[in-house]
Amino acid sequence: MRSAPTSSSAPRILLVEDDDGVREGLRRVLAAEGWLVTAVGNVEKSLEHLRQQRTDLLITDLFMAPISGWDLLFHEGLHRPELPIFVISALSGSLSDGADQVACEYFQKPVDLGALVAAVRRHFPNAVSPLKL
């Protein structure tokens, strides 16, 4: 598993969500915690970002077109097995065809924002937000 960012750096989060409103709402909540969030609307843009930028956590929706979050989940699992991945979906975990078992964390929409923030904090317990210094 990838080591957590040092105490002097905030986690770099890549958020992949095709719904503009959901994406912006999640981005704002995560950014308000001081985490460095890049939010994109499709898998193609996420793959480009992953090739160019360090990413400490990937948060992705499952059902997007033309390439799904499933494809991204398995691609990154093969190419970056150390990258923690959180999944968000309208499906309950029991209906997710195993995504809840593959991902580090699984959140059903509407996302419980407090639970999401708590999960990121648990995953990066030593990271210090630039906003909190």
pTM of the shown model = 0.86
pLDDT tens-place string over residues 14-28? 999 999 999 999 999
Region 88-98 average pLDDT: 65
pLDDT for the residue numbered 53: 95
pLDDT for the residue numbered 60: 96
Residue 72 and residue 43: Cα distance in Å, rounded? 7
pLDDT for the residue numbered 132: 52
Q: Which two tokens stand for residue 112?
A: 């419980």
Residue 71 and residue 84: Cα distance in Å, rounded? 15
pLDDT tens-place string over residues 55-67? 999 999 998 989 9
Ordered by where they begin, the domains of the chain are: 12-123 (3.40.50.2300)
Residue 14: name the closest of 83, 64, 77 by CA. 83
**Residue 32 backbone phi and psi in degrees, to 5:** -65, -25
